[in-house]
């Protein structure tokens, strides 16, 4: 097996290493989220206090993607990826202190560090693919497949991580689970330090800090569309949906968590096969068409929710997840394809900054809208944000 891997082309070996890093990180990220939710809820933390633990996690995603793209171009993607792995190990180690020390500010700080680590790792992995795939039409087709596989497998593993977190908490307790994940990730970091190319993704011309903002009109438009797209998902998915399932359907926390974990796994599976669904020659037209296909769905769920709540919501959620997964995978391909070849992480970092901003806006709106208007209000706002995604996407250049 080792000899077979060693015989592969360098680009393939590097892709496998980048993907393996991303997979290992994603598994611990999903498990850590579930561990924190379940453990601190069992300690008597309220739902609002548990939600606050993740506030800095989301906020620092915006900052990290913006600055991380610049760091990746100057220092190399190997360093930003390894820095992400290292910071996650430190974040896990912060949670190994005695239980009496696990105050809300301390855990928020650990989650902030984990959020920085996650976005450094993601930006590095997505950017690295651009440097490993040849240019030209054949390269673009390979690029779409590779990006879709990386993105889809990441989300599927995040769902697996939800299950893993609950299982580890049951079997070896909170600190045992945290220690096991820290040791595993430290091993992955050691392998990455030894095997990842030193100059991966480093720009030939050192970009200045002011270049963190994209000068490309196409990338700015795509980033704005991405912000609305992910805001439309999280405005009803992050807070409103799990609370509705628990309060209106009477589901316990394990049932809610298990269902959402399965949803994320299915979502990732669809992302991975998106090139087969959209065709290899995906571009501006596909981005508009798939966003338009999604835009009416939340509004339709809102209109029919009172008729058959279980069938409409759960069936609509499955359909929403499948179509959204295609949109997400298509967007992830377009940004990597449109990004500059020299200093790719600058454009990718800026784009995922917009993604993180959309998630942050959606998360904040989700709680407020649910309190004021219930799940129906979040669904209408989701539909409006998807219409905005379509309108913004119409401004993409024809060659996108």
Least confident of 87-91, 195-199, 311-315, 358-362: 195-199
pLDDT for residue 377 is more than 90: yes
**Residue 323, pLDDT score:** 95
Q: Which pair of tokens denotes residue 153?
A: 């497998």
Domain count, the chain: 1
- Report, as an integer, the average pLDDT of 196-219: 61
Identify whether 147 is part of a domain: yes
Over residues 263-299, the pLDDT tens digits come to 888 888 898 888 888 876 678 888 999 999 999 999 9
Residue 323 · residue 297 · CB < 8 Å: yes
Identify whether 399 is part of a domain: no
Closest among 69, 63, 113 to 88, alpha carbons compared: 113
Q: How would residue 137 be classed by pLDDT, with cut points 50, 70 and 90?
A: very low
- Report, as an integer, the average pLDDT of 353-362: 86
Residue 357 or residue 162, greater confidence: 357
Identify whether 398 is part of a domain: no
**Residue 138, pLDDT score:** 43
pLDDT for residue 240 is more than 70: yes
Q: Which pair of tokens denotes residue 267?
A: 């979502």
- Report, as an integer, the average pLDDT of 304-322: 92
Distance in angstroms between the alpha carbons of the first and the last residue of the chain: 40
Percent pLDDT > 90 in the chain is 20
Residue 24 or residue 212, greater confidence: 24
Residue 9 or residue 360, greater confidence: 360
**Residue 343, pLDDT score:** 57
Q: Which pair of tokens denotes residue 398?
A: 């024809």
Q: How would residue 140 be classed by pLDDT, with cut points 50, 70 and 90?
A: low
Over residues 44-73, the pLDDT tens digits come to 776 566 666 777 777 887 778 777 666 766
Identify whether 400 is part of a domain: no
Identify whether 23 is part of a domain: yes
Q: pLDDT averaged over the chain?
A: 80
Say which CATH number the domain at 6 has.
1.20.1250.20
pLDDT for residue 7 is more than 70: no
- Report, as an integer, the average pLDDT of 92-97: 90
Identify whether 58 is part of a domain: yes
Least confident of 84-93, 108-117, 271-280: 271-280
Range of the domain at 310: 2-199+210-393
**Residue 312, pLDDT score:** 93
- Report, as an integer, the average pLDDT of 70-87: 77
**Residue 299, pLDDT score:** 95
Q: How would residue 255 be classed by pLDDT, with cut points 50, 70 and 90?
A: confident
pLDDT for residue 241 is more than 50: yes
- Report, as an integer, the average pLDDT of 344-372: 81
Q: Which pair of tokens denotes residue 379?
A: 């669904």
**Residue 366, pLDDT score:** 81
Q: What pTM does this model have?
A: 0.78
pLDDT for residue 8 is more than 80: no
pLDDT for residue 390 is more than 70: yes
pLDDT for residue 162 is more than 90: no
Identify whether 205 is part of a domain: no
Identify whether 298 is part of a domain: yes
């Amino acid at each position: 097996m080792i000899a077979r891997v060693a015989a592969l082309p360098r680009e393939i070996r590097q892709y496998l290493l980048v993907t393996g890093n991303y997979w290992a990180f994603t598994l611990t990220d999903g498990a850590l989220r579930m561990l924190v939710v379940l453990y601190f809820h069992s300690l008597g933390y309220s739902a609002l206090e548990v939600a606050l633990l993740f506030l800095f996690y989301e906020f620092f995603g915006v900052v990290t993607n913006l600055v991380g793209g610049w760091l990746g171009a100057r220092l190399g993607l190997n360093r930003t990826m390894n820095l992400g792995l290292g910071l996650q190990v430190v974040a896990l180690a912060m949670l190994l202190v005695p239980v009496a020390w696990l105050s809300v500010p301390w855990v928020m700080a650990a989650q902030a560090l984990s959020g920085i680590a996650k976005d450094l790792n993601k930006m590095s992995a997505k950017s690295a693919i651009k440097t490993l795939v040849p240019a030209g039409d054949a390269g673009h087709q390979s690029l779409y497949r590779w990006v879709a596989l990386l993105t889809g497998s990441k989300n599927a593993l995040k769902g697996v991580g939800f299950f893993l977190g609950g299982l580890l908490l049951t079997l070896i307790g909170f600190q045992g689970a945290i220690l096991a994940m820290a040791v595993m990730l430290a091993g992955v970091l050691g392998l990455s330090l030894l095997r990842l190319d030193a100059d991966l993704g480093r720009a030939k011309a050192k970009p200045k800090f002011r270049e963190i903002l994209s000068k490309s009109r196409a990338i700015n438009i795509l980033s704005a569309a991405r912000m609305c797209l992910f805001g439309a998902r999280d405005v009803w998915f992050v807070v409103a949906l799990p609370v509705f399932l628990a309060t209106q359907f009477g589901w316990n926390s394990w049932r809610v968590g298990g269902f959402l974990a399965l949803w994320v796994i299915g979502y990732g599976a669809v992302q991975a096969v998106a090139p087969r669904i959209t065709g290899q020659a995906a571009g501006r037209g596909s981005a508009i068409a798939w966003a338009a296909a999604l835009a009416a769905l939340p509004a339709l769920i809102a209109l029919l929710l009172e008729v058959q709540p279980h069938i409409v919501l759960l069936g609509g959620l499955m359909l929403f997840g499948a179509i959204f997964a295609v949109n997400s995978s298509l967007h992830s391909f377009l940004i990597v394809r449109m990004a500059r070849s020299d200093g790719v992480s600058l454009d990718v970092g800026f784009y995922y900054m917009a993604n993180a901003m959309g998630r942050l806006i959606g998360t904040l709106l989700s709680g407020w809208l649910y309190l004021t208007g219930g799940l129906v209000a979040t669904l209408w706002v989701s539909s409006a944000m998807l219409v905005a995604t379509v309108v913004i996407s119409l401004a993409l250049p024809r060659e996108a």
